[in-house]
């Protein structure tokens, strides 16, 4: 394995990946030469080829290590967040400008259209993430957080389009107001939760309660449904007003209900048989 004196093989590999990420981000895939990456990493071309067989391999390995920040964040956040919360939390940051390496994915996608050597590993990279997102959606459906009638694959595809599209449509090309974007994402997430199951000849009023003995103050309720929940001085959740949910806020109520990790929220459906 090619090594720089006094530097381990792992460190040499990391140097090469860092240099590749910088050079590809600055000059694009077509404009980057393997020799320039080796120079930037402070290694010989021979040492470089001992670690990576081709420029295409370098690009995809650099993407896995230093690029795709949005997808990497989704991966990391997905371990502790629900699918709908992931959509709203990670989604809020999508319109912001990234550092240069955040656009490596764009380089890989563009290069994949012309170079078969890039197409196969980039396709594999995207498929892995689509599969992971699909599993996340299936798990959310099993927990009743997402409507089981929706296709997990279609939901995963939507997340990929949002993450990858945001690398292409940067804020200098088209900007969106932070508040407007957050409100839209919350509405989208609320549209994914299972709807109520009742017959149409009955009027059902929805009411929220928080079991203060169970609430641990995670704050997901007032983050996801700020019109329905607030927090006390210690950060524990509280329903606003009497807990009655207006018709147009029912989806948000269900979104918060589905996302409380302590199952501290009760969502009561009170049926009234009005009329003659």
Residues that bind ligand SF4 (CB under 6 A): 210, 215-221, 236-237, 260, 262, 264-265
Measured from the CB atom, the residue of 127 and 211 that comes closer to ligand SF4 is 211
Measured from the CB atom, the residue of 75 and 223 that comes closer to ligand SF4 is 223
Task: Find the shortest distance in angstroms from Cβ 143 to ligand SF4.
Answer: 14
Task: Find the shortest distance in angstroms from Cβ 215 to ligand SF4.
Answer: 3
Measured from the CB atom, the residue of 53 and 217 that comes closer to ligand SF4 is 217
Task: Find the shortest distance in angstroms from Cβ 221 to ligand SF4.
Answer: 3
Task: Find the shortest distance in angstroms from Cβ 238 to ligand SF4.
Answer: 8
The rounded distance, in Å, linking the Cα atoms of 87 and 78 is 10
Evaluate whether 70 touches 119 at the Cβ level (below 8 Å). no
Task: Find the shortest distance in angstroms from Cβ 241 to ligand SF4.
Answer: 16
Measured from the CB atom, the residue of 220 and 254 that comes closer to ligand SF4 is 220
Task: Find the shortest distance in angstroms from Cβ 206 to ligand SF4.
Answer: 16
Measured from the CB atom, the residue of 53 and 230 that comes closer to ligand SF4 is 230
Measured from the CB atom, the residue of 213 and 276 that comes closer to ligand SF4 is 213
């Amino acid at each position: 394995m090619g090594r720089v004196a006094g530097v381990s093989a792992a460190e040499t590999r990391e140097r090469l990946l860092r240099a590749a990420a910088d050079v590809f981000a600055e000059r694009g895939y077509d404009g980057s030469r393997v020799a320039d990456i080796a120079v930037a990493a402070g290694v010989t071309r021979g040492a470089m080829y001992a670690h990576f067989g081709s420029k295409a391999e370098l690009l995809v390995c650099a993407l896995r290590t230093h690029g795709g920040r949005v997808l990497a964040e989704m991966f990391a956040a997905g371990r502790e967040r629900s699918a709908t919360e992931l959509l709203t939390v990670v989604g809020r940051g999508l319109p912001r400008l990234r550092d240069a390496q955040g656009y490596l994915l764009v380089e890989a996608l563009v290069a994949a259209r012309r170079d078969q050597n890039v197409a196969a590993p980039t396709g594999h990279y995207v498929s892995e993430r689509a599969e992971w997102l699909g599993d996340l959606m299936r798990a959310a459906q099993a927990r009743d957080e997402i409507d089981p009638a929706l296709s997990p694959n279609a939901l995963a595809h939507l997340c990929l389009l949002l993450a990858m599209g945001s690398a292409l449509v940067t804020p200098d090309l088209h900007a969106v107001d932070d508040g407007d974007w957050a409100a839209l994402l919350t509405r989208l997430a609320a549209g994914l939760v299972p709807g109520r199951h009742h017959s149409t000849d009955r009027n059902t009023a929805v009411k929220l309660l928080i079991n203060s003995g169970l609430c641990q103050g995670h704050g997901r309720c007032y983050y996801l449904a700020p019109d329905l929940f607030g927090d006390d001085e210690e950060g524990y959740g509280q329903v606003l007003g009497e807990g009655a949910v207006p018709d147009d806020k029912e989806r948000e109520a269900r979104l918060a209900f589905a996302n409380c990790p302590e199952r501290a929220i009760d969502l009561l459906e009170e049926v009234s048989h009005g009329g003659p």
